[in-house]
Structure 1
Amino acid sequence: MSDPLFYTAREAAAELGISLGTLYAYVSRGLIRSEATAEGGRKRRYHAADVQALKQRRERRRRPAQGLDDALHFGDPVLESAITLIENGRLYYRGHEATELARTHPFEAVAALLWTGRFHTEGIFEAEDETVARLLAPCQELAPRLRRLTPMEQLQALLPLAAAEDLAAHDLNPTAVARTGARLLALATGVLTGQAGQGPIAQQLQQAWLPDRPDAAQLLNAALILCADHELNASAFVARGVASTGATPYATVIAGLAALQGPRHGGDTARCEALLRDAREDVREAIARRVKQGDRLPGFGHPLYPAGDPRAACLLEATRAACPDGPAMEVANALIQAVQAHFGLYPNLDFALATLAQALELPAGRALALFALGRMAGWIGHALEQYQSDRLIRPRARYVGVRPQAG
């Protein structure tokens, strides 16, 4: 059974172990949000996420050691960052709402924003065609041998070859790191398209993957932006840890790729694609088969967005506009309605990426590759912050094993 989105006043008070009067005081102080119920009148309902967050804060004050453990699982912030804010169910990159950026800006400008705080790409994404072509050459020589690998595996195999040749990547001043980030994006695009291209990254992907769909470039651009960063997720934390050692941006990105492909992170897109394929035959059966086996339903729900992932809503809207009549969109809509009706869950970014890939008839693995390419911008942003902080990330573990014998 899924967690509720709202509590009644008595349920919220019971959950916190407080009186109704104290609950109303918390509401007046802005600690818990409330809203009128559909029935009208004076009855109100209370956001379960706020109640649970307050409950956890009170518990951490009583048990501070447990609070440190909880901080590593969608808990209180453990690092300072000026890149991304997730607040009230919305996502912002340096103060700009990500969904709006996805509709109005090119991916390169948003990458520059994450790295420098400005949309200006001058001095960062200037033409380095000869350098990128030189770095991509050894990758292209090996590429025919790697065709059996997924796009993610190809990135992991080939980027280290380019890293060995890119001596400029060892310069860790902010301007140099941003330029290295631009080269990394160009190299990754070259690996995914099989050529050293020119022009906007989304357009290069469209021309290589969907040459007969020039309109798809705008949709791919939106996906890249919505994937660009998501605060201190698992791959971003790994990337910051690597950057804190003074390793190059290449090492940071390669580490991020390793974390992203896990099935509890971006790798969940593959499970979403499988769900969408199964649902073509029978939506209800595709859902039932998974939940009856005790499997987690992929692509739905997100702890940070109890009322729905704004990235998914934006990308699904754009995909519907680009592919309004295709069977993939029809299946996706049916899944969304069924899961919402039975479990009260909303689609997340993994589901939206899988839907986009199937609506555009992209081969398996391209959804995750798109995710990775977009997220590289965020990893470089986190690396930049970590280089500037000049602090090694080295948390301590609380030992819970066998104690040494006395004597």
Structure 2
Amino acid sequence: MTNDTFMSAKEAATALEITLPTLYAYVSRGLIRSEPGAGKSRVRLYARADVEALLARKALRQNPAQAAETALYFGTPVLASAVTLIEDGRFFYRGHDVIELAQATGFESVASLLWRDSLTADDLFPPEIPASLAQRMAEIQPILEPLPLFERFQVALPLLAGHDLAAFDLAETAVAQTGARLLHLLTWAATGERPQASLVASLQQAWAAHNQPIQKIFNIALILCADHELNVSAFTARVVASTQANPYAVVQAGLAALQGARHGGHTERVMAFLREAGSVAGVRPAVAARLRCGERIPSFGHPIYPNGDPRGQLLLDLVMGEFGGGTAVSIVQELIQVMAEATGQLPTIDLGLAALAEAAGLPEGAPLALFALGRTAGWLGQAIEQYKEDQLIRPRARYVGKRPE
């Protein structure tokens, strides 16, 4: 228990501007979690997150417009969801710890979990691909092959959507089946070959056949990328789903948001920085040059994880364990050490994806493509939830421009 997670009774009461008896009443009503502290005294401590949530509600009542506006920038929750929970430096898919899940479960099973709260995926994968859809995919292969990996996804989806009539059925079971087809088709686009076994096995064969042991790392990377609560692309996907657009359109929208440099496209900045450093000796000068210019080092520091991104830590541990001693891993290790000294910031999942690509010699653009494949499962989980809500997401703007005369 740390001060970042818990507060004393006096601190909590002061923050809320209430008396201690009122604080205890909040606890009894389940509004604030309380746990015994360490040591002999066992003085009870109070969850900081719950106190902050109550403060946010108070602000919302006092100034709804300002509170709603602030909520859009890593603020208070704005949508109810049962898909992903991020809490106390950990994250969960439908109640399952993702770090544990990723090391024990296949990606297809996790996709099923996100879509319908079941790890059983045998009835979804491998999916049945209608002959007309498979024929269309084969026809567009010559168009896709010269393109960067991520652009293949963006080009393929609109060319395929009209050949998958079942995708217009927005019932939960039908969307899960469409999701399985979409993951199959996107993997086909990424590898140039129709998947014959699992999606991960197909990626392994096409991208890193000489590194068979990293099939497990591919699987873990996809699971870690699958969802992350109401991030930019997930929110975009939900907005599009709220219009009753079909899953192909939902994924297209998610891809558009993901490619931005402040979201999944951040992996490209990380790759560029690693190549800029070039060697272990080049890391410190490269970091110093950026910091002197007031620039951030990409892939360090996550606002939701002040004590470190657990996704990045797991992925980096796996890459270092498999490729330790290689030049790419040595550069990444030096970068982590230099950043710890310079800023105290810890790496995010973006560095893990970049380290995997560099160490395993993956194709150009593989980090973002892996991110997109994994996150497709999450976008569709969010879409299914939004289809059930059957409500249009349509916030109002607070006009600050020139008033009409």
Name the TM tier (shorter chain).
0.7 to 0.9
Give structure 1 stretches of 5+ with no counterpart. 37-41
- Which of 232, 246, 249 is matched with 2:247 structurally? 249
SS at match of 1:395: coil
Q: Is the 8 A contact 1:33 1:50 kept in 2?
A: no
Q: Specify the SS of the correspondent of 1:165.
A: coil
Please give the residue correspondences for 1:202-241 in structure 2 after superposition, counting only pairs within 5 Å. Answer: 202-241=200-239
1:139 aligns with: 140
Shift of 1:186: 0.6
8 Å contact kept, 2:270–2:351: yes
**Equivalents in 2 of 1:319, 1:49: separation in Å?**
33
Q: After TM superposition, list the pairs within 5 Å mapping 1:2-401 onto structure 2.
A: 59-60=59-60, 62-128=62-128, 131=131, 133-144=134-145, 147=146, 149-279=147-277, 280=279, 281-401=281-401
Q: CA deviation at 1:61?
A: 5.0
State the TM-score, normalizing by the size of structure 2: 0.87
Q: Within 1, Cα distance between the matches of 2:256 and 2:185?
A: 17
Q: Deviations over 1:182-212 (max 9, x none)?
A: 0100110011001112111111000000111
**1:295, CA displacement in angstroms?**
2.0
Contact 2:107 2:223 in 1 (8 A): yes
In structure 2, relative to structure 1, the CA distance for the partners of 1:286 and 1:64 (3 Å cut) is: same
Compared CA separation, residues 301 and 47, structure 1 to 2 (3 A): farther
For 1:142 and 1:244, locate their aligned partners in 2 and report how far apart those are by CA, in whole Å.
Answer: 32
User: Could you tell me whether the CA contact under 8 Å between 2:7 and 2:48 is conserved in 1?
Assistant: no
Other structure's SS at 1:215 match: helix
Check the 8 A contact 1:223/1:370 in 2, yes or no.
yes
CA shift for structure 1 position 157: 1.1
Report the AA paired with residue 186 of structure 1.
Answer: H
Aligned length: 394
State the secondary structure of the residue aligned to 1:86.
Answer: strand
User: How far, CA to CA, are the matches of 1:370 and 1:75 in structure 2?
Assistant: 28
Tell me the CA shift for residue 86 of structure 1: 0.5
Extract unaligned runs of 5+ from structure 2.
Answer: none
Residue 77 of structure 1 deviates from its aligned partner by 1.1
TM-score using structure 1 length: 0.86
Deviations 1:276-324 (A, max 9, x none): 2223242211112222222222101111111111111111111122212
Which digits, 9 at most, give the CA deviation of each residue in 1:239-265, with x for residues without a partner? 111111111100000000000000010
Which amino acid letter does the alignment assign opposite residue 228 of structure 2?
Answer: H
Change (3 A) 1:186 1:8: closer
Aligned equivalents of 1:112, 1:258: Cα separation in 2: 24
Distance in 1 of aligned mates of 2:64 and 2:238: 25
Matched-pair contact (CA < 8 Å) for 1:136–1:196: no
Whether contact under 8 Å (2:5, 2:88) holds in the other structure is no
| Conserved 8 A contact 1:266-1:371 | yes
Residues 5 and 307 in structure 1, CA contact (< 8 A), matched pair in contact too: no
Tell me what 1:39 maps to. none
Q: Report deviation, 1:52.
A: 7.3
> Is the 2:357–2:366 Cα contact (8 Å) retained in structure 1?
yes
Distance in 2, Cα, partners of 1:384 & 1:228 = 15
Secondary structure of 2:91's match?
A: strand
SS of residue matched to 2:85: strand
SS of equivalent to 1:108: helix
